[in-house]
């Protein structure tokens, strides 16, 4: 498996073909996903290893992508720990009693992944048997993004409570993020122990903050989380939306691979990261979902051209596959990346 | 008036004091605004020169800012031309019959600002008498942002119809944006004729696009609009949210001043614009709305420090004043910028 194109590219080593996978490749854009999952709640589906494994495998079978990503959710650890987080269909994660004061830290005792969410490692074990040479990527939420649900009480566009807490009580904010970094770390270590070959930290909403706030208030917890994985020797990918200004900080925090959104070219991303890490990305998911094929083709080739044949590149979208995406378009992109046709 | 700190800074010339104003300084954060405007619809208020002038003057009186910005809205020209745009309280601009096909271009005949929206120039004339040495900034929407309301039918987070049109029918998309550039241009020329000393083009949602899409599909219309103002010799400011990657393109299109959001430092913005233009910004409006004063103070000083005393800087927020902002905080920021205390 160390010879897999994905793992080679993550390490900046030449691979027999350029690797490609898609964030949210397992999900609503696939008819087989909709048929298999039905109306099951996401957290209920995650807790069923047979079902979660099947949903993980579907896009690997269909597309022949170079990596699988565990079917899971970033709120799984806090849900499993009993913080009172549910995922409401059409809304997202919703928290019964939001985190607002220091007393709420007591509601986040140390997380024991194997005892509190054993189904995650079980799914990973099922998958590594099935996947053979295809690496499985484990996942966790970034501390800022998980905290945003806990503090806001649900999805937010403004992150108003988060900002107030961050500026008015920076020590409590830091304590919360450190606690959540430990949750993510415990979950990721369990996933790697069970056989995950790489991990991705989704700090999806990190781009909502000014760079100096991210650096001062969030980066220490991300660094803590990534440092806690260092001894495992697996590639640590960090991703987010609107994070083009944060790429250098992700590298400083210990990322081995940074996911690049569609706002900048890979050339520029390589400049911002000082060429110190591998890049993942960065085809615009809106192009894939909405544009005619000739535009998709031209833009996919532009991503490859911007990379300029650099080995440290994993082809992907700038962020997740849109639900309205035609799977046949993704299949054509895989062929284009693999065969240059 | 040519000696005003604001106009000097726009031209990169040393001013007796650093100029400051705030995007959305006239608006819901002011109790006198809420009292004067009452429940009047924005477009109805804009059409009453006495009222629009009063709302424009309120923040100048209260804060002693170095520029006034015309109380208006970016949809005024398309509304006045009868496209069927209204502003719904709590929602934003809503369009009865969205723009979807080439036939809809006929609904955008050439705009005659003095005949179709005479109240705008009348408000400007009232204002320049009242303002004395304080310059008035005229305003128009950027072609992309105005088009987004016409095509989507209202505010959007995804711009799905816009993207489809842009990629599937790029010539029609370009024709629409050129038409709207001419609307904005006609409105701005009328405002300058009536006495506005500078103009700002609000391409607020430009940051929703990948840079290459903005360059290929939007930039030509922005260039057309700015070029149509060149003979007037007034500073042309361009602003938007999430546009840190577009600053260089704004300069290429003819901007004299670019507004910088809070995601990057002024040092970095100066690098991205090659030092060819003046910068406006870039204190985080969320800090101003939500943070305790010591944090606001520290961050306002960080903006000044990042500018490093460069004359080509107009202090402002990264984008508009949040409605929940305490006006006393803005007053303290004005004092800090003016007096360094």
As for the ipTM of the complex, it is 0.92
What percent of chain A is predicted at pLDDT more than 70?
Answer: 100
Tokens 């904005």 — which residue? B184
pLDDT per residue as tens digits for the range A227-275: 999 999 999 999 999 999 999 999 999 999 999 999 999 999 999 999 9
To the nearest whole Å, the CA of A222 is away from the closest chain B CA by 19
Per-residue confidence (pLDDT) for residue B307, from 0 to 100: 97
Q: Does B262 touch chain A (CB under 8 A)?
A: yes
Q: Does A66 touch chain B (CB under 8 A)?
A: no
Q: Contact at 8 Å (CB) between A212 and A182?
A: no
Q: Does A291 touch chain B (CB under 8 A)?
A: yes
Per-residue confidence (pLDDT) for residue A1, from 0 to 100: 78
Q: Which of A304, A226, A209 is nearest to A265 (CA)?
A: A304
Strand partners, A238: A201, A258
pLDDT above 90 for A340? no
Q: Contact at 8 Å (CB) between B52 and B72?
A: yes
Cβ-Cβ contacts under 8 Å, B164 against chain A: 290-291
pTM: 0.95
Domain ranges, residue B90: 5-339
Give the gyration radius of chain B's Cα atoms. 19
CA distance B45 to B51: 6
CA-nearest residue to B246 within chain A is A263
| Mean pLDDT, chain B, integer | 97
- What is the torsional sign of CA A287, A293, A298, A302? positive
Check CB contact under 8 Å for A287 and B167: yes
Check CB contact under 8 Å for A262 and B167: no
Q: Which of B288, B237, B277, B281 is nearest to B263 (CA)?
A: B281
CA-nearest residue to A296 within chain B is B167
Among the partner-chain residues B160, B210, B263, the one whose CB lies closest to the CB of A211 is B263
pLDDT per residue as tens digits for the range B113-137: 999 999 999 999 999 999 999 999 9
Per-residue confidence (pLDDT) for residue B200, from 0 to 100: 98
Residue B197: which pLDDT band, with cuts at 50, 70 and 90?
very high
B265-287 b/e (C-beta count within 10 Å ≥ 16 → b): bbebbbebbeeebbbbbbbbbbb
Q: How many other C-beta atoms are found inside a 10 Å radius of the C-beta of residue A106?
A: 7
CATH number at residue B268: 3.20.20.210
Interface-testing mutation among B161, B210, B285, with chain A (most A C-beta atoms within 10 A): B210
Check CB contact under 8 Å for B263 and A292: no
Per-residue confidence (pLDDT) for residue B1, from 0 to 100: 78
Check CB contact under 8 Å for A290 and B262: no
pLDDT above 90 for B262? yes
Strand partners, A87: A93
Check CB contact under 8 Å for A167 and B291: yes
- Tokens representing B96 are 């009865």
Q: How many domains does chain A have?
A: 1
pLDDT per residue as tens digits for the range A55-72: 999 999 999 999 999 999
Check CB contact under 8 Å for B210 and A290: no
CA distance A326 to A329: 6
To the nearest whole Å, the CA of A110 is away from the closest chain B CA by 31
The β-bridge relationship of strands B85-88 and B92-95 is: antiparallel
Check CB contact under 8 Å for A291 and B160: no
């Amino acid at each position: 498996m160390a010879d897999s194109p994905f793992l080679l590219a993550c390490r900046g080593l030449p691979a027999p073909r350029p690797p490609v996978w898609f964030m949210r490749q397992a999900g609503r854009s696939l008819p087989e996903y909709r048929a298999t999952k039905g109306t099951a709640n996401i957290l209920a589906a995650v807790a069923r290893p047979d079902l979660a494994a099947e949903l993980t495998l579907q896009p690997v079978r269909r597309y022949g992508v170079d990596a699988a990503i565990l079917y899971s959710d970033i709120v799984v650890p806090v849900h499993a720990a009993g913080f009172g987080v549910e995922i409401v269909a059409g809304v997202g994660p919703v928290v019964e009693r939001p985190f607002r004061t220091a007393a709420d830290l007591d509601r986040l005792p140390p997380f024991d992944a194997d005892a509190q969410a054993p189904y995650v490692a079980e799914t990973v074990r099922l998958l590594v048997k099935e996947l053979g040479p295809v690496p499985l990527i484990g996942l966790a939420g970034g501390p800022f993004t998980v905290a945003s649900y806990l503090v806001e009480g649900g999805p937010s566009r403004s992150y108003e409570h988060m900002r107030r807490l961050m500026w008015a009580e920076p020590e409590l904010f830091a304590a919360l993020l450190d606690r959540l970094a430990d949750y993510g770390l415990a979950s990721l270590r369990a996933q790697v122990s069970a056989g995950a070959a790489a991990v991705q930290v989704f700090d999806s909403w990190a781009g909502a903050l000014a760079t100096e706030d991210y650096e001062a208030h969030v980066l220490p917890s991300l660094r803590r989380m990534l440092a806690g994985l260092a001894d495992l020797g697996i590639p640590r990918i960090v991703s987010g939306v609107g994070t083009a200004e944060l790429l250098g900080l992700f590298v400083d925090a210990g990322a081995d691979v940074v996911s690049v959104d569609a706002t900048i070219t890979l050339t520029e991303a390589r400049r911002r990261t000082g060429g110190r890490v591998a890049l993942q990305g960065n085809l615009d998911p809106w192009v894939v979902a909405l544009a005619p094929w000739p535009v998709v083709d031209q833009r996919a080739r532009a991503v490859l051209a911007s990379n300029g044949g650099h080995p440290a590149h994993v082809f992907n979208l700038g962020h997740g596959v849109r639900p309205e995406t035609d799977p046949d378009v993704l299949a054509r992109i895989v062929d284009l990346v693999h065969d240059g046709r």
